Structure 1
């Protein structure tokens, strides 16, 4: 089973990624689009959820491979951030070395070190010729030409030059909306204790009106979605992360009603910040 979470998800990119991975592994991946205004937060929670979904199988299950690419060209690294890999039990993750993307597996799964690779060094060690090395090391689409190779080599047990590196602590002071699901529920990147969640109590939630005005609403905490009055808003312990909190409206879209999107921080007690 191969899952690829990426911010390169247009039809052309999906076709190339699926074809290359199919040629390398004999199966095409499930490509998950990290879209919206905050792809890093979406990718962080989705990666955590993928690894958490491997628990409670009732049996050993099969090894999985998760690839993750969120690599803005921010000028800090030449041609983008490097790629890394780590294992969670028998399950392999190959990813861009991005502190925010790795923040939730660091916090929730104690994955505090990963193996960071240098593309040119890794491809050279694999025996590619000079022209091939140059193409793979300098391409704009490194998540196509290199990341699938890295995952294949590591999965096959081949030696890949890499440096064990601590995952930096994410300085984001959260919580933020990481995922808006297809029902309009807003999934946060934190558990109940982070926001003073208590059944029957209220928590102030900031939202946007249609004209952009900030509106703060006291929202009641409930145990389950079915406890929320129909048409009413509630904060519940949802299905993502390690019992992370969700903002919901039973029978309607909380994201639409509150004017929220990924990257927004409507639960912060000291200030409210929204993604640009």
Structure 2
């Protein structure tokens, strides 16, 4: 019996979801929960979401069950011949299979202590799989070279690791990624709240402090319930280790401040 599977991917139109869901059901005997990663900064959104997914498995009040999470963000920016490779790691009882990208994986590095991952090379893995899987050489070449590796390769990698096959991989220590200085919007939620990449402690804020957000002064509150209706504020949100959120109670901070995923936010005490 395989663990429940959550699949986060930026390749998530209806056609792609139908293919991913059916292929995963055929491989694992159950359909995954397929969730889209959209917006202008999918790496930032994926990193925060992966952190929150793993944090959500804690404090269950009981042992709980293992889970598997797949993460695919596949920009073709020329840094890799056919997009970034895929990697995997374990966090407690949970296994993650992900695009290898230092920015995407930085939140779990900083906040969960995931300091290394197992990076795979698709052609090498598919060649080795000939000893346990019925995949001929022509098909292996096609799977390694396809543009849609999140459909053809990543589910196979997940299954073979979970099946404890001798999947070739190389341990790689996660580096500190190159990234702009300052506070950024990790993602904008469906309410228009802007989830930021810092905590109140990072900025030495206490309840009631006023903070300049661009040209606008807002107060910091511990909870959204303390923010007057229609008012903009900074609050301690539900993501990560208490990351700040820029909110408008009853409105959209993203619209009011003109922000979107990945933007840098000018915060000054």
Q: Smaller-chain TM-score range?
A: over 0.9
2:88 corresponding residue in structure 1: 85
Residue number among 108, 115, 119 corresponding to 2:118 in the alignment: 115
Three-state SS of the structure 1 residue aligned to 2:117 is strand
Shift of 1:135: 0.6
Residue number among 62, 65, 69 corresponding to 2:72 in the alignment: 69
**CA separation in 1, counterparts of 2:23 and 2:136?**
19
**Please, what TM-score do these two structures have when normalized by structure 1?**
0.91
Matches within 5 A, 1:215-230: 216-230=215-229
Shift of 1:120: 0.6
1:48 corresponding residue in structure 2: 51
Deviations 1:160-191 (A, max 9, x none): 10000011212223421112111111111222
**Please, what TM-score do these two structures have when normalized by structure 2?**
0.94
2:186 corresponding residue in structure 1: 178
Shift of 1:155: 1.2
1:255 corresponding residue in structure 2: 254
2:140 corresponding residue in structure 1: 133
Q: How many residues align?
A: 260
**CA separation in 1, counterparts of 2:156 and 2:16?**
16
Residue number among 95, 98, 103 corresponding to 2:106 in the alignment: 103
**CA separation in 1, counterparts of 2:241 and 2:218?**
21
Residue number among 198, 218, 241 corresponding to 2:206 in the alignment: 198
2:167 corresponding residue in structure 1: 160
Gaps of 5+ in 1: 207-215, 270-276
Shift of 1:235: 0.5
**CA separation in 2, counterparts of 1:80 and 1:165?**
18
Three-state SS of the structure 2 residue aligned to 1:57 is coil
1:26 corresponding residue in structure 2: 29
**CA separation in 2, counterparts of 1:175 and 1:104?**
14
**CA separation in 2, counterparts of 1:240 and 1:174?**
18
Deviations 1:206-260 (A, max 9, x none): 3xxxxxxxxx211100011111111111111110001110011111111111111
Shift of 1:268: 4.9
CA contact under 8 A between 2:211 and 2:267: conserved in structure 1?
Answer: no
Gaps of 5+ in 2: none
Three-state SS of the structure 2 residue aligned to 1:101 is helix
**CA separation in 1, counterparts of 2:112 and 2:182?**
18
**CA separation in 1, counterparts of 2:53 and 2:191?**
20
**CA separation in 1, counterparts of 2:267 and 2:43?**
19
Aligned Cα root-mean-square deviation (Å): 1.1
**CA separation in 2, counterparts of 1:195 and 1:146?**
42
1:212 corresponding residue in structure 2: none
1:147 corresponding residue in structure 2: 154
